[in-house]
Amino acid sequence: MIEAKPGISLTEHTIAVLNYAVKEFKKAHISLVINIPKQELFEAIVLSCAFHDLGKGVKEFSFSEKKNFSHALASAVLANSSLPESPLKDYIIFAILGHHGTRSKDLFSNHRNQKMTLKLPDLIKEYDNIRNYINSNCKICMPELNLKTCAPAETIDRVLKAFWDGKGNWYLHSIILGILNLADWKASEGYKQNPFTLPNFTTKPLREFQKLSLTGKDTIITAPTGRGKTLASLNWWKSTNRKHLTYILPTVTTVEAMYETLEKEFGENTGLIHGNLSYYLYANMEISEEYHTKKFWMKHFEMPVTVATLDQLLLAGLNWGRWEPKIINIASGAVVFDELHFSQPFTFGITLEIIKKLKKLGIPICVMSATLPRYMLKKLKEVLDNPVTIRDEEGLKEKRIEIKGICPGSLTHKIVEEFDAGKKTLICCNTVKYAQELYSRLKKFVPEEELILYHGRFSTEDRIKLLNKITHDNPRVVVATQVVEISLNIDYDVLFTELAPIDSLIQRFGRVNRFGRKKGDVYLFPFRKNSRSVYDKLIVSQTLNQLKSKRTPSQEELLEIAEEVFRQSQKDIQKRIENGIAKAKYIESVNAKIFSMEISERFHDDLLREGLRSITIIPEEFRDQEMSIMELLGKQIRVPLSRDLMREITRDLEKGKGILFAKINYDSELGYIGISDDPEII
């Protein structure tokens, strides 16, 4: 017997893989704009599964694979030698090669001369068992195993020659390898997914726009915050008859908040994925086999309801990491983009290119926003399939706030005055440094338990603690930066905000009187000189001029102001969108469409954004402390990259895993304070 896994025969494992592959193929809802019959595609998947582990039937193989031997390459060599020529043969070989190990352009460069001595007659017996099973159950005739194998280098070169020039089909490769990966993993684990049925989401009467969301096709929904966009999106999902949902949000905090909301509805069928997933799960469950299993499947979008950051979707669409099974899971369901307007034009350009790919896989898409600008609406209509546009007309006419104008006198004293009057108060600054200064002044007047500072330069563990305090302890005064614009499901009585562009202000206004129960008061305070590194002074000035005549604006009026303010910036916005589109196409070209992104390309720059670069580091003080990797991840902070900071960064080679340390000033109450001569922190 040849073992595929310790104690499990090659035949037994391969049959299990085939059975899972059939289920995955049926689940995938594949709708391709390519000239390949569905049956031919199915046969390619079956053949890739049949051959994927045959390389374990050679004498050089060991389960540790520490002998610089690749069973995936040996399997691909057997497939190359045995399978007849066909339009999909190269894809089958590449899938077998890539089911373990690299799929980048340096494809198995260290294994070109590997030797392989077949275990005969055992390998023939195992292959015949697999062949007979496929003939009986899949009605596919497989060839005899050709024992006169070609050299490994010949198989590698065949794949490189076939795909190097960019003629490969991204969709075909995603489907064949993606299903092979999922089936192989599930067979190895004995994976069991509980039956999933969509529940009735609410017994409450639906608002008109929520009723209209039951379109069953591409849809764009515009509605103010607090009006029930999430419920509208769930009803839309139900109307698509898909059993899988990928829910996309812009930030880690919004993803975690939505995950916790949806988990109450869907329980263990809910998953999340973002850059800090390992630490989030570590902080919320014990490290165990269950922890590692849950993290693995969440990372691959396997859960029926998966909430993910936009970055995770874009990176999968740009061939980063083990992207193929992620694409298959996403393709099996529907996709919701929430708060897409938060993307800068460059990122939006990349997003448009990824949406094009999703649409070619036949995926229904819903885009939701409180403030979707017209330029985004126009571009989305170009890439979506004749989308239905829905507006919450009732909500857009609501007047939730009263703008009191520029805050008179001392800002600190006015904030304290509102606090003493018993009002919940939110203060939003444009920079971390000013938020820290204002917080320090307010500490003299506001009790510690009623005051909190929140911005994007806290460590992972401190951020989680702060969010829990904000959502559960309900402090009456929160000082924050623009991270509060979309990251918190909060409702305050009064807002003090530094002047900013109208789109940012609209988001900040949405944190006051969120549910339209009574008018919320808004005080503006002057745009500070150091904020110019964040926002364009001219746009801020135009915003103020427009707001002077609208003291109690409706959401619809605010959207019109935004269109007016940004009308003069349309050329620049369009150029930045085109830059994003060009970036996505460049990455596709570098990867020759179907090869995986190199790590150098992934981290060469801030791949998905323009402007200020940032880096994740750990304060130097923790370098020599006895801490686990997970504990160290909790100390990570995302900070702006500067030349001064670069000089302070060191890498811990012993601990590995890409951990960077730097001599910085950090305080768990104030967050990242910077280094000497550090510029204003955004």
Q: Residue 610 has what pLDDT?
A: 78
Domain 208-396 architecture: 3-Layer(aba) Sandwich (3.40)
pLDDT digits (tens, 9 = 90+) for 269-327: 999 999 889 888 888 877 777 888 989 999 999 999 999 999 999 999 999 999 999 99
Burial class (CB in 10 A: 0-12, 13-18, 19+), 566: buried
pLDDT digits (tens, 9 = 90+) for 203-222: 678 999 999 999 999 999 99
pLDDT at residue 529 greater than cutoff 90: no
Q: From residue 446, how far is each of 418, 431, 489, 639 by CA, in Å? A: 11, 22, 23, 29
pLDDT at residue 116 greater than cutoff 80: yes
For range 102-114, the mean pLDDT: 87
Q: Which residues pair with 617 in a beta bridge?
A: 637
CA torsion, ordered 69, 75, 77, 83, to nearest 10 deg: 180
Band of the pLDDT at 679, cuts 50, 70, 90?
very low
Beta strand ranges found along 316-470 (DSSP E): 334-338, 365-369, 388-391, 401-406, 425-428, 451-454
pLDDT at residue 377 greater than cutoff 90: yes
Please, where are the H alpha helices in 399-445? Answer: 411-420, 432-442
Burial class (CB in 10 A: 0-12, 13-18, 19+), 571: exposed
Q: CA 191, 320, 322: angle at the middle one, nearest 5? A: 20
Rounded-to-integer distance, Cα 267 and Cα 263, Å: 5
Q: CA 141, 144, 145: angle at the middle one, nearest 5? A: 130
Q: Residue 163 has what pLDDT?
A: 96
For range 365-389, the mean pLDDT: 95
pLDDT digits (tens, 9 = 90+) for 628-646: 888 999 999 998 877 777 7
Rounded-to-integer distance, Cα 268 and Cα 265, Å: 10
For range 672-680, the mean pLDDT: 66
Tell me if residue 6 falls in helix, strand or coil. Answer: coil
In this prediction the pTM is 0.93
Q: Residue 682 has what pLDDT?
A: 44
CA torsion, ordered 400, 405, 408, 412, to nearest 10 deg: 50
Residue, of 319 and 29, whose pLDDT is higher: 319
Q: Residue 21 has what pLDDT?
A: 97
Rounded-to-integer distance, Cα 488 and Cα 573, Å: 27
The first and second tokens of residue 127, run together, are 């292959």
pLDDT digits (tens, 9 = 90+) for 581-623: 999 999 999 999 999 998 766 665 567 887 667 888 899 889 8
Radius of gyration of the chain (CA): 27
Residue linked to tokens 């590449």:
94
pLDDT at residue 580 greater than cutoff 50: yes
Which DSSP state fits 607? T
What is the percentage of the chain residues whose pLDDT exceeds 90?
A: 66
Handedness of CA 632, 633, 638, 644 (dihedral sign): positive
Residue 410 CA to its chain's centroid (Å) = 42
pLDDT at residue 680 greater than cutoff 70: no
CA nearest neighbour of 478 among 519, 508, 516, 517:
508
Contact 451, 479 (CB under 8 A): yes
Rounded-to-integer distance, Cα 344 and Cα 431, Å: 18
Three-class SS of 510-548: CCECCCCCCCEEEEEECCCHHHHHCCCHHHHHHHHHHHC
Amino acid in position 106: D
Q: Mean pLDDT for the chain? A: 90
pLDDT at residue 438 greater than cutoff 90: yes
Band of the pLDDT at 391, cuts 50, 70, 90?
very high
Q: From residue 378, how far is each of 189, 325, 373, 375, 582 by CA, in Å? A: 46, 31, 9, 5, 19
Per-position DSSP letters for 61-84, written without gaps between them:
--TT--SS--HHHHHHHHHHHHSP
Band of the pLDDT at 374, cuts 50, 70, 90?
very high
Q: CA 206, 209, 215: angle at the middle one, nearest 5? A: 100
Residue 672 CA to its chain's centroid (Å) = 25
Please, where are the H alpha helices in 190-322? Answer: 208-212, 229-240, 252-266, 277-284, 289-299, 310-317
Query: Does the domain formed by 3-189 have CATH 1.20.58?
Result: no
pLDDT at residue 454 greater than cutoff 90: yes
Band of the pLDDT at 32, cuts 50, 70, 90?
low
What is the percentage of the chain residues whose pLDDT exceeds 70?
A: 93
pLDDT at residue 64 greater than cutoff 90: no
pLDDT at residue 676 greater than cutoff 70: no
CA torsion, ordered 192, 197, 203, 208, to nearest 10 deg: 120
Q: Residue 486 has what pLDDT?
A: 76
For range 42-61, the mean pLDDT: 96
pLDDT digits (tens, 9 = 90+) for 120-166: 999 999 999 999 999 999 999 999 999 999 999 999 999 999 999 99
The first and second tokens of residue 603, run together, are 């981290």
CA nearest neighbour of 156 among 103, 118, 116, 117:
103
pLDDT digits (tens, 9 = 90+) for 184-207: 999 999 998 777 888 777 667 899
**CATH topology of 208-396 equal to that of 401-553?**
yes
Contact 481, 455 (CB under 8 A): yes
Rounded-to-integer distance, Cα 6 and Cα 63, Å: 8
Beta strand ranges found along 447-519 (DSSP E): 451-454, 477-480, 494-498
Contact 209, 47 (CB under 8 A): no
pLDDT at residue 648 greater than cutoff 90: no
For range 339-345, the mean pLDDT: 90
Domain 401-553 architecture: 3-Layer(aba) Sandwich (3.40)
Q: Residue 119 CB: number of other CB atoms within 10 A? A: 15
Q: Please give the span between the terminal C-alpha atoms of the chain, in angstroms, as a whole number.
A: 63
Domain ranges of the chain: 3-189, 208-396, 401-553, 614-674
pLDDT digits (tens, 9 = 90+) for 78-107: 999 999 999 999 999 999 999 988 898 888
Q: Residue 188 CB: number of other CB atoms within 10 A? A: 15
**Neighbouring residues of 80: CB distance < 8 A, sequence distance ≥ 6:** 89, 93, 150, 154, 155, 158
